[in-house]
Structure 1
């Protein structure tokens, strides 16, 4: 009924399957845009209230909040926590940035190769992205300065949330649980009561979306902190579902600002109470997320214009999975092995 530490073992939950499901939804959603078809069927069906990529990102950030909070609480030191997060995010992401320069930038730029490599915009693309300070998506002379890997914008957002979590822990260590819950409730109420017009006047759309993803992250983190007090019951899920449905019907202006509790509870139910879905140990979800758009652009710029949408979707998925497997075995898995190397040199006492 309650989530236990035993449930957090990889073999006892569905987080692996859910990560790959989230990646697949983002992949399919972005394929509609890249191929030029436009909005996906789910967006058209729901009046653009929901798109598959939004489902996938909400799923990613909610699970990330839960698991990263677990990592923070159980890490032997702050240094180990930061190292774990860095090794999971940065190595594969840095290689992806180089991949975009080498395999999209150089082959498809209208500039001479040396001019392209020495261009300040190329240096800016490299340094800003690998620093995780922010994101930039264009390279000089490439596809009329259109974005070449727009999905990567969420990586720096998630990385900043790791530090938000750590800062809350360092400042409010003795009351970490309570202050995290207070922060979540405060932010949730603020975006609920502040008129949407004011929010759009104060922040750019991508900032507002980052805040929304941050709320999903914090909701997942609080779910971990209070996992001993939140029962996973079907009756509770039905109550939350009824509230979510009622808001959609009678208060449509508030649906996007009140859905975090329902989706978080649903995700945790799927992770811990659904039938255990056997899934491979190889985790290619991050690699697929990083390489999907670059691979699809390469295909479109070379041989993809003559493909029908189903063929393009399937062919680009196969190519992306192949590259994601290389990313996992050559980069991510090796980077993650360093976590255990450094962990063995740390005291066993947890934070």
Structure 2
């Protein structure tokens, strides 16, 4: 137990340094490498007439900050989902939550073409909530729907259904090229202004997650144990779901659908820090941000000089991990 706590403290202490190095790495590498001296000058002696300075401050810095934020949001969402449902396969992408956000964004683009960034974020949140409601409803109605594999199948079907409708609507209204951004997330197209707007929503979601961390630890022991300890399980689940909806909706609004981060990182975090969600949630957020930012750097080398969608990189790691979990754990609940 002490060793796990020590590992948690090490992660929290070392992560800021790793994040700083990741930021510098991400800014340096790209179609045009930028040296350390230019990066320093861009930060402390910005020259609007210098193209390299413009690239650093208006393209690569927002991109890596967005990747860090999105990775953190998805990892925290996955940790919350796995903890409150005791489902080791739960994650925003597998449970259809991300597809719900894209569905709502598609409707927004078609029927509210002049929508502001705030409206887009709001619609993305509504879509996340819709997908969560659909998956939970079907899981309770269908036999074995609440088992990990059962929920994963229902989530996948729900996500496929929503994405198919999105594709049909976008094709009919001839906006499929714009919508494709949300299905093939490309962080280099991330809007800096949208990142700023997302911060207040993100703070709310993260604060809710941190405040619920102790309750999620108890809830992960099972509903009966949780109720026996006097916990209001329904209230905790509602609040945790709210945090998931906010964080996932923000992630999709920023950069589109990115799979597997919310599945992989919570498992790695639990292995490193134990089962206490007071440590899992903050550590998962840090590790998730670093993971996605480094994956973004890797995506620039896979088919250089062209950009590879970030979802391809996460899928290379996530698909084998997903199959491994099913092979090792079967269809039962996680401990």
TM-score by length of 1: 0.29
Which of these two proteins has the greater Rg computed from alpha carbons?
1
TM-score by length of 2: 0.30
